[in-house]
Structure 1
Amino acid sequence: MPYPPLETSTDNSGSSHPTSTTRQRVAVLMAVYNGALYLAEQIETLARQDVEHIDLWFADDGSTDETGAIVERTRATWKKGEVHILPGPQKGFAENFRHLLVHPAISADYVALCDQDDLWDEDKLSTAIARLDVEASATPALHCSRTRIVAADGTPIGYSQRFDRPPSFQNAIAQNIAGGNTMVMNRAAHDLIRRLSQAVALVSHDWWCYLLVAGSGGKVFYSPDPKTSYRQHAQNLVGENVSLRARFSRLYHAGKGRYRAWNATNLSALETCREHLTEESRRTLDLYAQARDRGVFGRFIALRESGVYRQTLSGQIALYVACLLKRM
């Protein structure tokens, strides 16, 4: 969709910011929709970040509550950088985040994705940036982490599942361990994602980011130390996934073919940017595709040779069952 003129503020110190600066700029991208109940509290946690320069980018997907008023107040009071307000495409939250990720005007040393109802620890950004800075700036790098699960009122409930196997394309092609609400990426990763996400069909924006960065030879860092509190409430579009009920739900939908459909979407999208994948990633992609469509023995052989894995033993067993039943 065409991009309208930006609605932009200067920071409230009275000075505007040049396009480039010697200070590290962080762009926080937030897709919002009828989030007034928790949005102001989340913005307060952004203001408390121990990072000096943060630009906020809001894409409002047609809110009918007080979300717009909260965003406007933020633009008037934000002291850490600029505030930009965009209209969303009104095609759901994943498309709203894609709309932000590909926006041509966003330029920052680091880009973070932010949900409207979470709570961030004060060192969420600085911790991720410190890890990303280990890599050369030309290498696409993405940081993600476990989350702390809290009730609607902020009371702790528990934690998301911990993943101990390393992030990789061989993992990303089978599952997403990189929650978008925990993602922070460097400029090289953002540039890669912006170039290759314009028109492809996506299962989810965060899974696609994990696939692209890992598949192109970039670095993905997963931290078991949560810096984001994920608020569990009735309006969540994506719920917590560690309960027994959630696991049975995933098995049920896998049996109905949803996992196979997701794989088809991801594989088709990856084919459109095949030239940007490493040779190893292309081999994995081809073998995984064969593991979906060959005869039963050929499927098992291709899956084993691909090296594709899920993070847990039960998940790996489920992957092979899906392969057996041609539901992968």
Structure 2
Amino acid sequence: MLTVKYSKDNQRPTQAVKNPRIAILMCTYNGERFLRQQLDSFFAQSHSNWTLVVSDDGSTDSTQQLLQHYIKQWGADRLYITNGPQRGYAANFLSLTRKAKTLVKADFYAWSDQDDIWQKDKLQTALHHIGNIHSEIPALYCGRTQLISASGSPIGKSTNFQRPPHFLNALVQSISGGNTMVFNQAALDLLQETHEDVTVASHDWWAYQLISGAGGMIYFDSDAKILYRQHEHNLIGSKLDWLARLKHLALVFHGLHSNWNTQNISALENMQHYLNDENRLRLQQFKIARQEKLPKRLLSFIKLGVYRQTVKGNIAMYASILLKTI
């Protein structure tokens, strides 16, 4: 079992690994339409010491044939393919993360979707921000995205969050997509403790909650290093347009976030021995506050100090608290 012991005394820089190896963990499912562009963006990275591991979730198009073509082009030591559990995208990412060390040896790990495009300095930038973190501290890099249309045209950027990443934020909000995330070996060790039967709202939100809850380091990059493609088959896309926002808001007030929070609380309780003492207490306070009656429910959340990153987000959160849909 992983033993996690962090303190302020050991949160200091450690000597960086020279030319660290990065394992890119990609999940695919019928991704033939955009996959080639994503693969080519890996090959164009300024940090070239990487290996790609793909977990395919039962594609019925030419995804696997395309991957085999790249194996021939790059070499079998550069690209590995494994089978996903076929239980949805979050389960696929967590399954691949659990078995990553049995498939590839690496110092850092990067999640990747199948239909985006990485900026050339994506990996190099991530290493700049988390490469010197003490090896015992779970460290996670994430950030904004440049949104593009199906044809590749820029259509805006994701929100540039200003407030610091923290467990009190992670309890109520996911701030970044898994397609932006790069994390170190200590973070991988922590994520690998996630049981295969655990249900979470999404793998990226789970990473934010678990790593921040354990006292790890989270860096949010305000510069977009991912071209995040928006198309009709996105499982989770941006909510830039008002129609998408209104639809999401309607789902929130019909209990969407409440269901997600219930799942996340259960998952965190199963992993609470990895949370630090302060965040373990916050988790229990959050769980209890959701069930209290007004006005005690409102006062409990104010005292707890959970927050979202924007004014509008906090207004929506407190509306959910009042309506008991949080």
Normalising to structure 2: TM-score of the pair?
0.91
- Report percent identity of matched pairs: 41
Aligned residue in 1 for 2:119: 121
SS of equivalent residue, structure 1 residue 225: coil
- The 8 Å contact of residues 54 and 80 in structure 1, kept in 2 or not, is answered as no
What CA distance in whole angstroms lies between the structure 2 residues aligned with 1:209 and 1:63?
26
Aligned residue in 1 for 2:145: 147
Aligned residue in 2 for 1:82: 78
Aligned residue in 2 for 1:278: 276
What CA distance in whole angstroms lies between the structure 2 residues aligned with 1:156 and 1:79?
33
- The 8 Å contact of residues 140 and 219 in structure 1, kept in 2 or not, is answered as yes
What CA distance in whole angstroms lies between the structure 1 residues aligned with 2:64 and 2:76?
20
Change (3 A) 1:131 1:120: same
- The 8 Å contact of residues 53 and 81 in structure 1, kept in 2 or not, is answered as no
Deviates more, 1:229-238 or 1:112-121: 229-238
Aligned residue in 1 for 2:68: 72
Aligned residue in 1 for 2:258: 260
Aligned residue type for 1:313? V
SS of equivalent residue, structure 2 residue 299: helix
What aligned pairs does 1:1-328 form with structure 2 within 5 A after superposition? 23-78=19-74, 81-103=77-99, 104-105=101-102, 106-328=104-326
1:82 Cα offset (Å): 2.6
Q: What is the CA deviation profile of residues 177-217 of structure 1, one whole-angstrom value per residue up to 9, with x for unaligned ones?
A: 02100000011101110123433211111110110100000
Q: What is the CA deviation profile of residues 241-295 of structure 1, one whole-angstrom value per residue up to 9, with x for unaligned ones?
A: 2222222122100111111010000001111111111112112212211221011
What CA distance in whole angstroms lies between the structure 2 residues aligned with 1:80 and 1:134?
30
Change (3 A) 1:206 1:197: farther
Aligned residue type for 2:169? N
1:223 Cα offset (Å): 0.7
Q: What is the CA deviation profile of residues 200-241 of structure 1, one whole-angstrom value per residue up to 9, with x for unaligned ones?
A: 211111110110100000011101100000011111111212
What CA distance in whole angstroms lies between the structure 2 residues aligned with 1:307 and 1:108?
38
Aligned residue in 1 for 2:5: none
For structure 1, the residue ranges without an aligned partner over 5 or more in a row are 1-20
Aligned residue type for 1:33? Y
Aligned residue in 2 for 1:9: none
Change (3 A) 1:89 1:226: same
What CA distance in whole angstroms lies between the structure 2 residues aligned with 1:23 and 1:72?
27
SS of equivalent residue, structure 1 residue 36: coil
SS of equivalent residue, structure 2 residue 198: coil
What CA distance in whole angstroms lies between the structure 2 residues aligned with 1:30 and 1:312?
31
Aligned residue in 2 for 1:5: none
Aligned residue type for 1:84? Y
Structure with higher RCO (Cα < 8 A, 6+ apart): 2
Deviates more, 1:197-206 or 1:163-172: 197-206
1:134 Cα offset (Å): 3.3
What CA distance in whole angstroms lies between the structure 1 residues aligned with 2:318 and 2:186?
35
Aligned residue in 1 for 2:12: none
What CA distance in whole angstroms lies between the structure 1 residues aligned with 2:195 and 2:45?
29
Aligned residue in 2 for 1:8: none
1:110 Cα offset (Å): 0.6
1:80 Cα offset (Å): 10
For structure 2, the residue ranges without an aligned partner over 5 or more in a row are 1-16
Q: Kindly report structure 1 stretches of 4+ aligned residues shifted beyond 6 Å.
A: none
What CA distance in whole angstroms lies between the structure 1 residues aligned with 2:230 and 2:176?
18
SS of equivalent residue, structure 1 residue 195: coil
What CA distance in whole angstroms lies between the structure 1 residues aligned with 2:223 and 2:176?
13
What CA distance in whole angstroms lies between the structure 2 residues aligned with 1:215 and 1:80?
38
Q: RMSD in angstroms over aligned alpha carbons?
A: 1.5
Count of aligned positions: 308
Change (3 A) 1:134 1:242: farther
- The 8 Å contact of residues 58 and 84 in structure 1, kept in 2 or not, is answered as yes
- The 8 Å contact of residues 111 and 186 in structure 1, kept in 2 or not, is answered as yes
What CA distance in whole angstroms lies between the structure 2 residues aligned with 1:267 and 1:188?
22
What CA distance in whole angstroms lies between the structure 2 residues aligned with 1:284 and 1:56?
37
- The 8 Å contact of residues 283 and 306 in structure 1, kept in 2 or not, is answered as no
